[in-house]
Amino acid sequence: MKSTNKTKLLEVFDNTYPNRNYLIVHKTSEFTSVCPKTGQPDFGTIEISYIAKKKCVELKSLKMYLQSFRNDGIFYENVINRILDDLVSVMNPKWMEVKGIFTTRGGLYSTVTSVHGKK
Amino acid sequence: MKSTNKTKLLEVFDNTYPNRNYLIVHKTSEFTSVCPKTGQPDFGTIEISYIAKKKCVELKSLKMYLQSFRNDGIFYENVINRILDDLVSVMNPKWMEVKGIFTTRGGLYSTVTSVHGKK
Amino acid sequence: MKSTNKTKLLEVFDNTYPNRNYLIVHKTSEFTSVCPKTGQPDFGTIEISYIAKKKCVELKSLKMYLQSFRNDGIFYENVINRILDDLVSVMNPKWMEVKGIFTTRGGLYSTVTSVHGKK
Amino acid sequence: MKSTNKTKLLEVFDNTYPNRNYLIVHKTSEFTSVCPKTGQPDFGTIEISYIAKKKCVELKSLKMYLQSFRNDGIFYENVINRILDDLVSVMNPKWMEVKGIFTTRGGLYSTVTSVHGKK
Amino acid sequence: MKSTNKTKLLEVFDNTYPNRNYLIVHKTSEFTSVCPKTGQPDFGTIEISYIAKKKCVELKSLKMYLQSFRNDGIFYENVINRILDDLVSVMNPKWMEVKGIFTTRGGLYSTVTSVHGKK
Amino acid sequence: MKSTNKTKLLEVFDNTYPNRNYLIVHKTSEFTSVCPKTGQPDFGTIEISYIAKKKCVELKSLKMYLQSFRNDGIFYENVINRILDDLVSVMNPKWMEVKGIFTTRGGLYSTVTSVHGKK
Amino acid sequence: MKSTNKTKLLEVFDNTYPNRNYLIVHKTSEFTSVCPKTGQPDFGTIEISYIAKKKCVELKSLKMYLQSFRNDGIFYENVINRILDDLVSVMNPKWMEVKGIFTTRGGLYSTVTSVHGKK
Amino acid sequence: MKSTNKTKLLEVFDNTYPNRNYLIVHKTSEFTSVCPKTGQPDFGTIEISYIAKKKCVELKSLKMYLQSFRNDGIFYENVINRILDDLVSVMNPKWMEVKGIFTTRGGLYSTVTSVHGKK
Amino acid sequence: MKSTNKTKLLEVFDNTYPNRNYLIVHKTSEFTSVCPKTGQPDFGTIEISYIAKKKCVELKSLKMYLQSFRNDGIFYENVINRILDDLVSVMNPKWMEVKGIFTTRGGLYSTVTSVHGKK
Amino acid sequence: MKSTNKTKLLEVFDNTYPNRNYLIVHKTSEFTSVCPKTGQPDFGTIEISYIAKKKCVELKSLKMYLQSFRNDGIFYENVINRILDDLVSVMNPKWMEVKGIFTTRGGLYSTVTSVHGKK
């Protein structure tokens, strides 16, 4: 389940203010993947927060990366941890948090939040 | 009032990222049980948050477990502490919090929150 | 599926202002029944609006009547039409509307609204 | 249950614009009375809307009038119709609507709306 | 209480589209005047809607006009009807509605709405 | 663009109350298709309202039908009109409305609403 | 102003989980008392949060206790501190907070929050 | 002030369902122009609703058209009527409404709504 | 700009619970003063929070004190610091915070928060 | 990308309370600039919070400064850091935070927050 080829979709650019700790948040409510157990589509909101070291993630490439999960069969817990692993591997941020807020399944809403580094 | 047979309803699966502390939250607004004093139905929202050690709880089995309280006569305080005890016994999480937000009885809204371990 | 014995739970009282057309609405978000197909519990909000002729429905008996569906296997469409039939049979109102707003099943929210008489 | 002495609390003043049909609404969320059946306090919001003929109701006297129900045992339906009767008797408006939105009793919210004249 | 000198504050400009019926709404939550009975300040939101004939009201002059009530002792009902009279006298609109939504006094919120012409 | 094979996914059941006009609404915020021009995914909420004649649509089959658009390239306007055509062809309702509320594209939110029959 | 006889209304029951620190909150928006200065009724929301030691407060008795202030003349600050004193005297909790959020008087909203023990 | 060259930015496409009256709404909260009097930027939300005859407006061209007002000096009333004129001239819809909801100037919010044809 | 005569408007009363640290908050959305630069009225919400030592501020006198700014020309920053100075001088609280949330000027909302003592 | 001439637009005034640490926040939802990559306009809310040392920023000059970005091609990250740099250079505050909340691009909302000094 570790990231293999999706990271190729991610582009980064140089952080103009590397000496300052500032917070960047990107959030989309248009995330969808497929439940590996039932084959049913899952929907959710993904929120990525980070403090950059030398690199920032380019917005359009992030969008394409997130869209690449559309027809993947993957559990909630793994979606969030994989996005975190992939972004950390290309950006090496000082701190990063990835949060997924998923729509209800069988009356249950689920949220998964994973963190890399210290804030 | 300690859990006896309900834990059989709960299924767990292996945590794919056991070395990372990440937060999982499951929440349902479709919880109902019965007041042991009046026999009247109680309604509420149950929110379960945890940081897994080796095991995560399977979503559909959690739903069936929560539904099993439907016709049980049980007080608010005991519902929440029992759910916590049952989940801890099958998952042994690093940290877990169970919160119940119950609808109004006689004009009074009640919330009960119980915690296992340190965050 | 026509009402048989549940109407015995409903009590009525004399309308003190029979010559004035006024609107009464009773609404509860604590309705639950069982899906006859899957055996899973359904949850919803029931809203009953009416203009009385000679009789009004007593609030506590209405609560007991709505609770009596708790373990019945019945489809959304039939719940609403049966409540309407039962209330019309004991109250004979000038006008009545029964609306059910049910929680999501498979990502789909459903609402059913049925009317008796003209407003 | 018809109004007897409470109307003495209501003061009116001359409508400065009697030839124009304009709408006045007074609304309070601080209404309380007592349930005649259980002796328990009831709480609600009262909304009074009218188009004046020759008289408008004075605001402070309306407040004192509504407060006078504080320890009266009276049903929801009768509260609303009596307020309508009392205000109509002292103001003779072209049109008036009185609406009560009451807090939940046994999980049921109730609304009663009564009207005098045509809008 | 009829308008005398305040209309001098109002400026109008030519309606560029006199042959089309279109709706203009101006709304401010920064209206204040003084209660003539208690001397206490009143606060409210004023909403002016109209369909112009040949003239539209200039926005800044409208603001100055509304500010001119700041230290006037005037009842809610008269504020609304006077604003309507003043605007009608300088603009002669096809249709105009003036609405005031006032903050709570003694727990009572009041709304006054007055109309000129047909929509 | 007319419906060909998707209607096979839709199942219907007999309307238990064919002599009463009552309103059924099904709504999902989990609809996604693909923009035929850019290849980018579109997301939206679909709301289906109808008054049945002899047949009602079965909820689970409706879900599968709506999911079948997931990887189709289709414009907003055509999505809504096709869903309407397909449902009308299998249910023949007295009245039906299909509404799509789509998420922002280039800063523009779009809504499309199409109707069959008279309410 | 110290509590004398109202504590008789409060009933307690044994805490089933005395070894676990868990939070219980009871909240009602149906609190009313009387201003000792003006004789006017006051309205507010009371929120009681606590971590029990050996005893929990019984819900219905708490409701009766709170209703007993209905016709008492008592200032906001004293209401909150007295409820705290009374509950502490009968329950001896590890920690307790009582908060009152009162409706506007003369355009001023007031909130009073008092705490016993350490959380 | 009548439209001259901006219509060249608008592209249309054939309505696939010309025999059905259905409603299309496009809305953006990212509209800005310049006040011709003060030179200050204006901001607002534009909502365009229509029932097409033979042509629909292409979404991306509509976005470019609306952006073309960015540095134009133009009054609120003229913005809305000109957008209506321009769209009517290229699409000839059965019915169209253009609404602008502008941010506050001097404490005054303004809304302008203009209509072409009958709904 | 230091307080001179306004403190005469403020009345205090003895704190009944001087040995307990409890929080009192008074908030009004009906504050208005005048901009000393433009002469235009300013509007805002003032929120005063404190932990009393020996004295509490009387509610009606606080209202009169806040109203006394109505026609004063004073900047946002000075309003807040002066209210804090005045209240501290008459009450000598353990801790006090004064916050002003002002309505938009030129599209800019401003908030000023000043504190006395430690919480 | 470091500030050159925009700081000339910023005016400051003397802090009347230099010995007290108090918080000032200015917020506008009317910020727009241009994406340097696509040439498309960007829209957002800018929130500036600070604790002054000897100087405060004058509100109208801040508005003109923020408007000066209207037709500049500049990335989100650089907008926020440059505003922070410019304000720090003219005011030398004890602490300052600048936050930008930008509207959705390709379904992604972005927030950037940068800080100077310690709070």
- Distance, in Å, from the CA atom of F25 to the CA atom of F48, rounded to the nearest integer, reads 6
The nearest alpha carbon in chain G to B100 belongs to: G24
Neighbours of chain C (3+ CB pairs under 8 A): A, B, D, F
**Whole-number pLDDT of residue J103:** 92
Between chains, do J110 and A59 touch, taking CB under 8 Å as contact?
A: yes
Degrees, nearest 5: CA angle F103-F109-F115: 90
Taking the C-alpha atoms of residue E28 and residue G101, their distance in angstroms, rounded to an integer, is: 29
CB distance E112 to G112 below 8 Å: no
Chains D and G: how many Cβ contacts under 8 Å?
22
Check whether C3 has a pLDDT greater than 90. no
Chain I interface, best mutation among E27, E29, E30, by max I CB count within 10 A:
E30
Per-residue pLDDT, D4: 58
pLDDT range class, residue I3, cuts 50, 70, 90: very low
Confidence tier at I105 by pLDDT (50, 70, 90): confident
Torsion of CA F67, F72, F75, F79, to 10 degrees: -30
Per the residue annotation, which of H35, H56, H72, H86 is the catalytic one?
Answer: H35
Would you give the DSSP letter of residue B36? T
pLDDT per residue of chain D (119 residues) written in tens, 0 to 9 = 444 589 999 999 999 999 898 999 999 999 999 999 899 999 999 999 999 999 999 999 999 999 999 999 999 999 999 999 999 999 999 999 999 999 988 889 999 999 999 88
How far apart are alpha carbons D86 and D74 in whole angstroms?
A: 15
Q: Which of H14, H42, H72, H86 is catalytic?
A: H42
Structure tokens at D61: 């006297």
Closest residue by Cα to residue F50 from F94, F109, F11, F4 = F94
Average pLDDT over residues F18-32: 95
Contacting residues for I24 by C-beta, under 8 A, at least 6 apart: G77, G110, G111, G112, I49, I50, I51, I52, I56
Q: Which residues of I touch G (CB under 8 A)?
A: 15-17, 20-30, 56, 59-60, 62-63
What torsion, rounded to 10 degrees, do the Cα atoms A72, A78, A84, A88 define?
-80
Q: What is the pLDDT of residues H16-57, one digit of tens each?
A: 999 898 999 999 999 999 999 899 999 999 999 999 999 999
Q: Which residues of chain J have pLDDT under 70?
A: 1-4
- Please give the backbone phi and psi of residue A79, each rounded to the nearest 5 degrees, phi first: -55, -50
Structure tokens at G21: 């620190």
Of the candidates I115, I114, I105, the residue with the CA atom closest to the CA atom of residue I38:
I105
Q: What ipTM was estimated for this complex?
A: 0.90
In this complex, which of F29, F30, F40 lies closest to A41 when CB atoms are compared? Answer: F30
Q: Return the pLDDT at I2.
A: 46
**Above pLDDT 90, what percent of chain G?**
87
- Output the DSSP codes for D15-62: -S-TTS--EEEEEEEEEEEE-TTT--EEEEEEEEEEE-SSEEE-HHHH
d(CA J74, CA J38): 11
Cα–Cα dist E72/G88, whole Å: 52
Q: How far apart are the first and last CA of chain A?
A: 27
Half-sphere exposure of F119 (CA within 13 A, CB side): 8
Q: For chain J, give the DSSP string.
A: ----SGGGG--EEE-S-TTS--EEEEEEEEEEEE-TTT--EEEEEEEEEEE-SSEEE-HHHHHHHHHTTTT-B--HHHHHHHHHHHHHHHH--SEEEEEEEEEEETTEEEEEEEEEE--
Q: What is the DSSP string of F63-74?
A: HHHHHTTTT-B-
Residue H35 is among the residues annotated as catalytic for this protein: yes
Across the interface, whether the CB atoms of I109 and J27 are under 8 A apart is answered yes
Residue J15 CB: number of other CB atoms within 10 A?
A: 20
Q: Which two tokens stand for residue H6?
A: 């901006």
Q: How many CA within 13 A on the CB side of residue E31?
A: 26
Residue E4: predicted pLDDT: 58
Residue F85 tokens, joined:
């055509």
Whether A4 shows a pLDDT value over 60: the answer reads: no
Shortest distance between the Cα of H83 and any Cα of chain I, in A, equals: 25
Distance (Å) of CA A1 to CA A86, B57, C68? 11, 19, 49
Nearest CB neighbour to D22, from listed E106, E109, E112: E112
Q: Which among C45, C67, C53, C58 is positioned nearest to C17, based on CA atoms?
A: C53
**Model confidence over F86-101: pLDDT tens digits?**
999 999 999 999 999 9
> What pLDDT, in 10s, does the model give residues G53-82?
999 999 999 999 999 999 999 999 999 999
Respond yes or no: is residue D42 known to be catalytic.
yes
Strand, coil or helix: H62? helix
- For residue A1, pLDDT over 60 is answered with no
pLDDT tens track for G71-116: 999 999 999 999 999 999 999 999 999 999 999 888 899 999 999 9
Residue E59 is inside which H or E element, if any? helix E59-67
How close is the nearest chain D Cα to the Cα of C38, in Å? 27
How far apart (Å, rounded) are the C-alpha atoms in residues B60 and B119?
A: 26
Q: Do B27 and A115 touch (CB under 8 A)?
A: no
- pLDDT tens-digit series, residues E20-50: 989 999 999 999 999 998 999 999 999 999 9
Put simply, the answer to whether E32 touches I29 (Cβ < 8 Å) is no
Map C7-64 to HEC letters: HHHCCEEECCCCCCCCEEEEEEEEEEEECCCCCCEEEEEEEEEEECCCEEECHHHHHH
